[in-house]
C-alpha cells in the first residue's frame, strides 16, 4: 500500500486527478470506477479542468459507479445518478452511454445487483477505482461485517451511515434504508485503486485501514491485500499513523 500524505484537500484532489489523467492518457478506452460523496468533489473538478485544458480525448472512456440508494430513481436529486450528472458527467461532457450506475428504482433490486456485477465483467473490468472511506470504515456501501468475498449486492445501511449521510437530505427519515453496492471482492478486482481521505472524521477509519488487523470489521483493511493501492490522505486523517 502506497501512502501519500498531503497538506490539504486541494493537494489530495490534484494528485488524485493527475492519476486519473495518467490512466486516461495511457489507455483512452479506460474504465473508471467512481465514488460519490464529499471527498471526490475536488478531484472531479480538477480532472475536468485538466481534461478541457489539455484537450484530452474522453470519448472512449467508460465510467462505472460503486453504488446507489435503493428506491431512488435517477431523477431524484439525492440519487447518486444526480450527483454524478452534476459533478462529473455533464461538466466533463460524457455521453449517457459511457456512464453506468446501478438503478435504485429497479423493480427487482437483487436482479439489478446481478446485472451490474455482470456489466463490470462485460466492460472488461475496472482500470482505475476511486474510493472514499466512511467514518465507520466502509468502502462503497460495504459496512463493517461485510464478507470479504462479497460481490455486487443489496445491503442494509447501518444507523451510523444513515445518520452521517442525512446531511444531504431534508430529514433523517428520508435517507434510504438500503443500497445497491459493488462488493468487496468486486472492488478488489480493479487493476488499480486510489483511496482518498481527508479530515479528522476519517482518522479512526484510515488508521484501521492502514495499520489495524485485516478483518471484516474494518472493510477498508482488505485493500492491504491488493498490489496496486494508493492512499492519498491529509495530515488530519493520518495523525495516528505511526
DSSP 8-state assignment for residue 224: G
Interface size with ligand F6R, residues (CB under 6 A): 13
Where are the extended beta strands (E) located within the chain?
2-6, 31-34, 62-65, 67-69, 99-100, 128-131, 153-156, 178-181, 192-197, 229-234
Long-range contacts of 175-178 (CB under 8 A, 24+ apart): 176/69, 176/70, 176/71, 176/72, 176/104, 177/70, 178/69, 178/70, 178/71, 178/109, 178/154
Which stretch in 54-62, 87-95, 128-136, 185-193 sits in contact with ligand F6R by CB under 6 A? Answer: 128-136
Number of neighbours of residue 191 by Cβ within 10 angstroms: 17
Smallest distance from the beta carbon of 52 to ligand F6R, in angstroms?
24
Catalytic annotation on 213?
Answer: no
Residue 238 in the binding site for ligand F6R (CB under 6 A): no
- CA–centroid distance for 174 within its chain: 22
19, 81, 85, 138: residue in contact with ligand F6R (rule CB under 6 A): 138
Residues 55-74 that bind ligand F6R (CB under 6 A): 66-67
Residue 35 in the binding site for ligand F6R (CB under 6 A): yes
Residue 203 in the binding site for ligand F6R (CB under 6 A): no
Q: Which of 68, 81, 117, 136 is catalytic?
A: 136
Catalytic annotation on 138?
Answer: yes
Which stretch in 29-37, 90-98, 113-121, 151-159 sits in contact with ligand F6R by CB under 6 A? Answer: 29-37
Place of cell 449517457: 96
Given the rule CB under 6 A, which residues bind ligand F6R? 35-39, 66-67, 132-134, 138-140
Which residues are annotated as catalytic? 67, 136, 138, 143
Amino acid at each position: 500500500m502506497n501512502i501519500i500524505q498531503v497538506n490539504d484537500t486541494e493537494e489530495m484532489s490534484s494528485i488524485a486527478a493527475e492519476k486519473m489523467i495518467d490512466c486516461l492518457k495511457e489507455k483512452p478506452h479506460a474504465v473508471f470506477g467512481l465514488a460519490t460523496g464529499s471527498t471526490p468533489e475536488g478531484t472531479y473538478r480538477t480532472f475536468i479542468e485538466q481534461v478541457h485544458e489539455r484537450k484530452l480525448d474522453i470519448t472512449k472512456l467508460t465510467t462505472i459507479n460503486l453504488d446507489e440508494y435503493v428506491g431512488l430513481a435517477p431523477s431524484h436529486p439525492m440519487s447518486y445518478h444526480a450527483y454524478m450528472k452534476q459533478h462529473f458527467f455533464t461538466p466533463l461532457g460524457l455521453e449517457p452511454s459511457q456512464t453506468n450506475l446501478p438503478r435504485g428504482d429497479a423493480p427487482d433490486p437483487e436482479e439489478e445487483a446481478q446485472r451490474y456485477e455482470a456489466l463490470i465483467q462485460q466492460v472488461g473490468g475496472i482500470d482505475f477505482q476511486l474510493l472514499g472511506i466512511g467514518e465507520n470504515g466502509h468502502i462503497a456501501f460495504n459496512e463493517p461485517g461485510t464478507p470479504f468475498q462479497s460481490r455486487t449486492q443489496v445491503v442494509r445501511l447501518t444507523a451510523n451511515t444513515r445518520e452521517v449521510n442525512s446531511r444531504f437530505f431534508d430529514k433523517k427519515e428520508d435517507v434510504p434504508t438500503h443500497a445497491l453496492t459493488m462488493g468487496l471482492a468486486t472492488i478488489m478486482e480493479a487493476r488499480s485503486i486510489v483511496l482518498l481521505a481527508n479530515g479528522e472524521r476519517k482518522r479512526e477509519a484510515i488508521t484501521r485501514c492502514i495499520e489495524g488487523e485485516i478483518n471484516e470489521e474494518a472493510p477498508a483493511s482488505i485493500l492491504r491485500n491488493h498490489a496496486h493501492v494508493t492512499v492519498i490522505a491529509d495530515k488530519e486523517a493520518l495523525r495516528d499513523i505511526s
